[in-house]
Chains A and B, each alone.
Chain A
Amino acid sequence: MTDPEARLVRVGAQLARRLEAAGGLRGRVHSVFARAVNVEWNDGSLLALHQPGPLLAPFAAAVDDTAVLRALRPGMPVVVEPRRLRAPGLVLSWERATRVDCSVARNPSLPAPARPGGHAPGLDSPGGAGARAALAAGIGRRDASRLIAGACALLGLGEGLTPAGDDCLVGALAVLHAVDPAPLTREPAVAGAIAEAAAARTTAIGREFVLHALAGRFSEPVLAVLRARSRTESARAAARLAALGATSGADTLGGMRLAWDALAA
Chain B
Amino acid sequence: MAQATLVKRGAYHDSVALLTLARALRGRAGVRDAAVVMGTPANRDLLAQAGLLTEEAGTATPNDLVIVVEAETPAVAQAAAAAAEPLLARSTPGGDGGRRPPPRTIAGAIRRMPEANLALISVPGAFAAAEARAALAAGLNVMLWSDNVSLRDEVALKHDALERGLLLMGPDCGTAYLAAVALGFANAVPSGRVGAVAASGTGLQEVATLLAGRGHGLSHAIGVGGRDMSEEVGGLMTLAALDLLGEDAATELIVVIGKPPAPAVGRRIRGKLATIGKPVVVCLLGRDVAAGTDGPVTTVATLEDAALAVDAALAGAPWRPRVFSVADVAGRISEARRGLAPGQSSVLGLYAGGTLAHESLLILEPLLGPVASNLTGGKGRHRVIDLGADEFTVGRAHPMLDPTTRVEMIGGAGEQADLAVLLLDVVLGHGAAADPAGDIAPALEAARGAARARGRGLAVVASVVGTARDPQGLAAQVARLEAAGAWVLPSNAQAARAAAGIAGGEAILAALLHPGAHA
What is the interface of chain A, defined by CB distance below 8 A to chain B?
30-36, 38, 51-54, 63-67, 70, 73-74, 114, 116-119, 122, 125-127, 153-163, 165, 200-206, 224, 236, 238-240, 242-243, 245-250, 253
Asked whether A33 and B12 contact (CB < 8 A) given A114-B394, A116-B394, the answer is yes
Contacting residues, chain A, for B100 (C-beta < 8 A): 67, 70
Contacts of B14 in A (CB 8 A): 33-36, 161, 245
Q: How far is the CA of A38 from the CA of B62 in the complex (A)?
A: 17
Is the Cβ of A127 less than 8 Å from the Cβ of B395?
Answer: no
Residue of B nearest to A161 (CB): B15
Min CB gap B468→A, angstroms: 33
Contact B104 A52 (CB under 8 A): yes
Looking at the complex, which one of B91, B103, B127 makes contact with A67 (CB distance below 8 Å)? B103
Instruction: Return chain A residues, CB-CB under 8 Å to B126.
Output: 54, 224, 240
- Report yes or no: B148 in contact with A240, Cβ–Cβ below 8 A: yes
In the A-B complex, list the 7 residue pairs whose CB atoms are closest, starting with the nearest: A156-B40, A250-B395, A31-B12, A160-B15, A157-B42, A65-B108, A242-B395
A65 touching B91, Cβ below 8 Å: no
Q: In the complex, are the beta carbons of B46 and A247 less than 8 A apart?
A: no
- CB within 8 A of A125: which of B49, B103, B107, B148? B49
Number of interface residues of B (CB under 8 A): 48
Q: B390 in the interface, Cβ–Cβ < 8 Å? A: yes
B63 at interface by CB-CB < 8 Å:
yes
Given contacts A153-B42, A162-B15, 14 further A-B contacts (CB under 8 A): A67-B100, A67-B101, A70-B94, A116-B395, A155-B40, A156-B40, A156-B42, A161-B12, A161-B38, A203-B38, A240-B148, A243-B394, A246-B15, A246-B16
The reply to whether A159 and B19 form a contact with Cβ atoms under 8 Å apart is: yes
Identify the closest chain A residue to B16 (Cβ). Answer: A246
B13 at the interface (CB under 8 A from A): yes
B366 at the interface (CB under 8 A from A): no
Inside 8 A of A153's CB, which chain B residues have their CB?
42
Contact across chains for B395 and A247 when beta carbons are under 8 A apart: yes
Assuming the A-B contacts A127-B45, A159-B15, are A117 and B40 also in contact, with contact meaning beta carbons closer than 8 angstroms in the complex? no
> How far, in angstroms, from A242 to B394 measured CA to CA in the complex?
6
The distance from the CB of A2 to the nearest CB of chain B, in whole angstroms, is: 16
Separation of A30 and B12 alpha carbons in the complex (Å):
9
Query: Given known contacts A67-B103, A159-B37, A160-B19, is B42 in contact with A117 (CB within 8 Å)?
Result: no
A156-B62 contact given A67-B104, A125-B49, CB 8 Å threshold: yes
The answer, yes or no, to whether B208 is at the interface (CB within 8 Å) is no
Given known A-B contacts A203-B38, A246-B15, A163 and B124 have beta carbons under 8 A apart = no
Q: With A161-B38, A240-B148 as given contacts, are A66 and B46 in contact (CB-CB < 8 Å)?
A: no
Q: How far is the CB of A115 from chain B (nearest CB, A)?
A: 9
In the bound assembly, the distance between CA atoms of A32 and B11 in angstroms comes to: 10
Q: Give, as a whole number of angstroms, the nearest-CB distance from B82 to chain A.
A: 22
Q: Are B390 and A239 in contact (CB under 8 A)?
A: yes
Residues of B within 8 A of A116 (CB): 394-395
Interface residues of B in 388-402 (CB under 8 A from A): 390-396
Q: Assess the A127–B40 pair: CB atoms within 8 A.
A: no
Q: Say yes or no: A203 contacts B104, CB within 8 Å.
A: no
Q: A52-B105, A117-B394, A203-B63 are in contact. Are A127 and B12 (CB under 8 A)?
A: no
Interface centre among B12, B42, B125 (most CB of A within 10 A): B42
Tell whether B18 is near chain A: CB-to-CB under 8 Å.
yes
Docked pose: A239 CA to B42 CA in angstroms: 29
Please tell me if the beta carbons of B41 and A117 are within 8 angstroms of each other in the complex. Answer: no
